[in-house]
Amino acid sequence: MRGETLDEQGYWTALAAGASIVEPLAAPPWSPGFGVLTDAFGVIWGIDVTGTDRVPSERMTPRPSRGTVRE
């Protein structure tokens, strides 16, 4: 699902009930908000915000550490 504002945060909250979060809703470098989940029925949802609003840090889900980068 693609939207222009963070109003889509409400959709994320509703879909996340009983879901498996694949990628928490957060603000990656390319988007003000992006997240992926698999809902209670097994449907995979992706939310991508194209506008300039950013996900407020208090609403972001902390990302688990993926280890260290080696050179």
CA distance 39 to 5: 22
**What are the structural domain ranges in the chain?**
2-59
CB neighbour class for 63 (10 Å; exposed up to 12, middle 13-18, buried from 19): exposed
Look up the pTM and report it.
Answer: 0.65
Chosen CATH of 2-59 out of 3.40.50.1820, 3.40.50.2300, 3.30.720.110, 3.30.70.360: 3.30.720.110
So what's the pLDDT on residue 11? Answer: 83
The pLDDT tens digits of the residues spanning 19-49 come to 999 999 888 888 888 999 999 999 999 988 8
